[in-house]
Amino acid sequence: NLQQVAPQFAKGGASSAGTLSDKQLCFGTVSKGLPSGDFRVQGWQPGAGEQHEVWVHNSIAQVFELSIDDLVAFRVHINKQGQPQASAPIWKMVGIIKEREHISFGEYIGQISRVLPNGLAFIDCADVKFAHGGDAAVHAAIMQECGLSVGDVVAFNLHVSDAGKIWMSAPCWKCCSAEKWNAQLEAFKMQMAGMEPPQKKVRM
């Protein structure tokens, strides 16, 4: 059930019944793949009261990354046809969801920067370094479980071991948008932190 696994986390105003707000994350399951490479998602937001079909254009999601029934997260906008459409970046939940586990969108966003010969990996994330004084590590088993590799951008939560080591928790959210959307990724980070992204200057 989507509403059982969709995160209760949402920053910004709650959406009213029957609408999708661009002020908070939309969560959904991929319901249909189209011949054009586009996707349809049954999307839902906390407070929205119902699910909506959301269009995911093939330009913002790499086709090989998504499959039917994947759980995804994204912000939404209304396109020229007046229909809800996903905005880049789009995120896919990866990893095993335990029964009755509360799932939330990641508190931190970073990039898998290196993997050791034993499979242990590290995430480059300025916010984690600032808060904890070092990089978050990822167990080799979690790397395999989540299908992660060097260069992947992930939204994740942390846990600290008894020895004080910082670890990424699974499941996490993997960015499925191509590198050309990096500018939108930076804006997404600022929005999730409660800050407005810089606006384009209009020449007079």
Quick: pLDDT tens for 70-94.
999 998 888 888 888 988 889 999 9
Whether 25 and 105 have beta carbons less than 8 Å apart is answered as yes
Could you list the beta-strand ranges (E) of the chain.
26-33, 39-44, 52-56, 71-78, 84-94, 108-115, 121-124, 136-138, 153-156, 158-160, 166-168, 172-175
Degrees, nearest 5: CA angle 51-56-58: 165
Integer Rg of the chain from CA: 17
Residue indicated by tokens 């699974």: 170
Angstrom distance (rounded) from CA 93 to CA 51:
19
pTM: 0.80
Mean pLDDT, all residues of the chain: 80
User: Is the pLDDT score of 15 beyond 60?
Assistant: no
Degrees, nearest 5: CA angle 169-185-38: 95
Angstrom distance (rounded) from CA 66 to CA 173:
13
Between 84 and 14, the more confident residue is 84
Could you list the beta-strand ranges (E) of 50-152.
52-56, 71-78, 84-94, 108-115, 121-124, 136-138
What's the pLDDT at 183? 67
What's the pLDDT at 194? 60
Degrees, nearest 5: CA angle 188-194-196: 65
pLDDT tens across 115-167, in order? 999 999 999 999 999 999 999 999 999 999 999 999 999 999 999 998 889 99
Angstrom distance (rounded) from CA 184 to CA 8:
23
